[in-house]
Structure 1
Amino acid sequence: MLLSPLLGLFALLVFSSEPLRHQPTEILGATLVVPLLGLCIVCVVRGLHYVGQQHTADGWDDARANDLAHRIRRGQRYQQLLAIGLYTGLRTDQAGAEAQLDAILNGTKVLKAQPSRLGKSTVRHSRLSGDVNEDPERALLCVMKRVLMDLACPLSQVSDDVPLALLLEFDSQLQSNQLHRVWQRAWLESGIRQPLVPIAWSGLDAVDQWLDQRSDDQALLLVVAVQFAPERPEGTAEAAVGLLLGNPVTQTSLPLIANLHRPEQVRGDTADAVLHAVRQALNWVPLEANAVEHVWQVGIGQKHKMAVTSVLNDPMLQLDGSRQLHNLDGLLGHPCRAAAWVAIAAAAQTIQHGAGPQFIFSGESSAKAALWGTVLTPVSVTSK
């Protein structure tokens, strides 16, 4: 800008026919007005450019904020738990669902050395109630019918045309054709009228995927998971569990037991990875760690045991101390593929009896199995 007056004088000298001394007004214009006018034009152009850049930046900020808000809302989706059927070695003909839950909460162990169902060798494990010498298909059919009976009563209040998305998981040394035969007979005798539509997802990944893709679906999610006569019974638990889950947006027919929030998978086997997953699972509610009343552990493999213990003792989370810790692996043994569902059922029944929020660490006890962190809350917590 310092050259502008000189350029103005040069232009006046070149293009003017009169001497400069006879043009004081023109000299003033060339050395002052023209540069000021040029400066104003430059300022206006730069101002318009800045406003355009700022508008673009604000647009990107708004888009990022909206995207983040959408992701958070999607992450905070949850399912309603509507019905439960849970059978472990702690449930017998004399001890029903309430007695089973009391035994679990009181730390009653049923994991012990006893003859296995098929191999008959004595190993440390837990079995579903019944005669170990009973025909295995007959014994499995009996427990499957009981699980479906627990779900049939609530489903009788649901319209017949509401589809049931079926997640069926078996872990057994019985042949697949035997398992299919038992399932078909149990289903036919259950009296449940709604149509079944199998889904491809498995484990807690099914809940995660459902919340992403089918959160506004009219269908209910029916989970049936069974471990029965496992191939390697040492340290395992026979268990059968049935859960009925619905979407808050579409399900209005049945009373609610608890809310199952989005599970968070642990990405790694370090304490930091577990801690990150715990915090994210709590954020999906959202819920402070000190609001958790019960912590459940089930199917924790060797590679995650130390990390989970470290996180439970982390003073920032305070999940230990006054919290009630329930190690289902120590009480029942490993339910393997049914592990997460057994813990969810037990935690939901605890909420049903007046307890507050629950946190679950669950895996499948194998070296390659993923570890998940999951939160269940009473209905009143999420509705606030």
Structure 2
Amino acid sequence: MPIRLDKIPPLALRPQRPRFLLWLGLLLLFCLLGAGGTLLFGDKTLLQRPSDFWRMALSIPILVWCVLGFGRVLLHVGQQGAADGWDEAREVDMIRKIRQGRRSQQVLAVSLQTALRQPEDEPATQLEVLLSGTMALKSQASRLDGATLRHSCLSCDADENPEAILLSIWAQTLANLAPTLAQLPDDQPLALLLDTDIGLPDKQWRRVWRQAWRESGIRQCIEPVDGSGLAALDQWLDQRIGDRALLLVLAVQFAPQQPEGTAEAAVGLLFGNRLTQTTLAPIAYIHRPEQERKPTPDDLLYAARQALDWVPLESTSIERVWRVGIDAQRAVDFASVLSEVPMPVNKTGLCNLDAMLGHPGCASPWLAIAAGTQAIARGVGPQFIFSGGGAAAGLWGAVLMPVSALLK
């Protein structure tokens, strides 16, 4: 559930204090009315007894004034107490929401495969190519129908069996994660999030997936979880932050139905809860992502600022910005946000994965998290991720932090 601090009700309106001059004027008015009433309706012999006259003329007005004044004081005290109670409850709610909003996940293991990685390459080689801005987006044969389209793919061999390619992709992803999982006990629960867009029939690709898992040698049992994209991570932070289970995300875009301008990518990420996971040393921390509510510059600006506030972190501390899964029509909004929130936008500080690879679809946020985590492992500082997953979904902002920065 999104944490909206801007929707927290305002402070209570404070009651106005009783005005001294007004009540002094009322006292004088009551005394005049009392004296006038006594002259009109009192015994005429009272004028010959001044002490009795003034006692009768003033006692009742002063008594009425005291009763009204006491009632006004009680009303003020009650309103003040109600306002204090509202403000205290508001502060407790705000503190709870801030603590909930500032939850984060450990990034424990990463696997990343894009068109810029050759089978024999080390992960560091792919990262170097990514950070250098090398283009993998080019015109080549589509995997499904052979049409020549501009896209990037994980294997350039159009004649190769798609099932065999997909099996090798998943096998490589799991092989990259297996050494980390091998350090955990066999009874360590794993929650598996499969975030996929695969242009093969479900029955076909799921059979390939099960084969890859069986052959991976990973001992832990998995429990599937529903969801997709950063919304699934946001939900995990809300509902399962105290779980012993680790969240294993496998995101694949492979042979999409409309490959024009897209990128094939395979990502594996292992997340741990900071409250329960102490066996593995984290590589980085991914803080609560924030999604824009409407596709407008103002909403995207709010999301970016709120994502930074969850750390909390000054925008000038960000060393690299990742842009991925953002359609061309939102480029103006993206540029507007960067002008309002100062971040590094030079050639070395901004990495446009869409321009290099194409649109990674469902793998977009996970691709940026994986690449940013690998950059942090090499000593780069805080990262900011702008990501989307399609034209209909709102864009997200998220901060990826080095472990050392949170220990200071």
Mark yes or no: TM-score above 0.5: yes
- Counterpart of 1:299 (choices 307, 325, 332) is 325
> In 1, Cα distance between the equivalents of 2:348 and 2:153?
29
**Does the CA contact (< 8 Å) of 2:34 and 2:61 recur in 1?**
no
- Quickly say closer, same or farther: Cα 1:173–1:28, change in 2 above 3 A: same
Deviates more, 1:83-92 or 1:20-29: 20-29
**Does the CA contact (< 8 Å) of 1:357 and 1:376 recur in 2?**
yes
Aligned to 1:103: 129
Identity %, equivalent residues = 51
Q: Which amino acid aligns with 2:213?
A: W
SS at match of 1:242: strand
Cα deviation, residue 289, structure 1:
1.1
**Does the CA contact (< 8 Å) of 1:236 and 1:333 recur in 2?**
yes
- The reply to whether residue 338 of structure 1 matches residue 369 of structure 2 is no
Give CA-to-partner distance per residue, 1:179-213, whole Å, 9 cap, x none.
11111111112222222111121111101111122
Cα deviation, residue 51, structure 1:
0.8
Query: How large is the Cα RMSD of the aligned pairs?
Result: 2.3
Q: How does 1:73-84 map to 2 (within 5 A)?
A: 73-84=99-110
Cα deviation, residue 383, structure 1:
4.0
- TM-score by length of structure 1 reads 0.92
SS at match of 2:330: helix
Deviates more, 1:65-74 or 1:289-298: 65-74
Aligned to 2:95: 69
How many residue pairs get aligned? The number is 381
> In 1, Cα distance between the equivalents of 2:134 and 2:395?
25
Cα deviation, residue 324, structure 1:
0.8
SS at match of 1:368: coil
**Does the CA contact (< 8 Å) of 1:269 and 1:303 recur in 2?**
no
> In 2, Cα distance between the equivalents of 1:6 and 1:124?
94
> In 2, Cα distance between the equivalents of 1:264 and 1:166?
22
- The reply to whether residue 59 of structure 1 matches residue 85 of structure 2 is yes
- Quickly say closer, same or farther: Cα 1:269–1:26, change in 2 above 3 A: same
Deviates more, 1:65-74 or 1:116-125: 116-125
Cα deviation, residue 34, structure 1:
4.4
- Quickly say closer, same or farther: Cα 1:215–1:159, change in 2 above 3 A: same
Aligned to 1:41: 67
Aligned to 2:23: none
- The reply to whether residue 135 of structure 1 matches residue 154 of structure 2 is no
**Does the CA contact (< 8 Å) of 2:284 and 2:402 recur in 1?**
yes
- Counterpart of 1:363 (choices 388, 391, 400) is 388
Give CA-to-partner distance per residue, 1:292-332, whole Å, 9 cap, x none.
111111111133122112222x1553442486111111111
> In 1, Cα distance between the equivalents of 2:223 and 2:140?
39
Q: Which amino acid aligns with 1:159?
A: P
**Does the CA contact (< 8 Å) of 1:218 and 1:251 recur in 2?**
yes
**Does the CA contact (< 8 Å) of 1:91 and 1:129 recur in 2?**
no
SS at match of 1:308: helix
> In 1, Cα distance between the equivalents of 2:140 and 2:33?
105
**Does the CA contact (< 8 Å) of 2:105 and 2:286 recur in 1?**
yes
Q: Which amino acid aligns with 2:287?
A: H
- The reply to whether residue 85 of structure 1 matches residue 146 of structure 2 is no
- Quickly say closer, same or farther: Cα 1:199–1:355, change in 2 above 3 A: same
Cα deviation, residue 271, structure 1:
2.2
**Does the CA contact (< 8 Å) of 1:12 and 1:30 recur in 2?**
no
Cα deviation, residue 88, structure 1:
0.9
- Quickly say closer, same or farther: Cα 1:151–1:30, change in 2 above 3 A: same
- Counterpart of 1:214 (choices 218, 235, 240) is 240
- Counterpart of 2:342 (choices 317, 322, 325) is 317
- Structure 1 unmatched runs, 5+: none
> In 2, Cα distance between the equivalents of 1:143 and 1:236?
17
- The reply to whether residue 329 of structure 1 matches residue 383 of structure 2 is no
- Counterpart of 1:286 (choices 312, 331, 334) is 312
> In 1, Cα distance between the equivalents of 2:348 and 2:57?
82
**Does the CA contact (< 8 Å) of 1:130 and 1:139 recur in 2?**
no
> In 1, Cα distance between the equivalents of 2:40 and 2:255?
107
- Structure 2 unmatched runs, 5+: 1-26
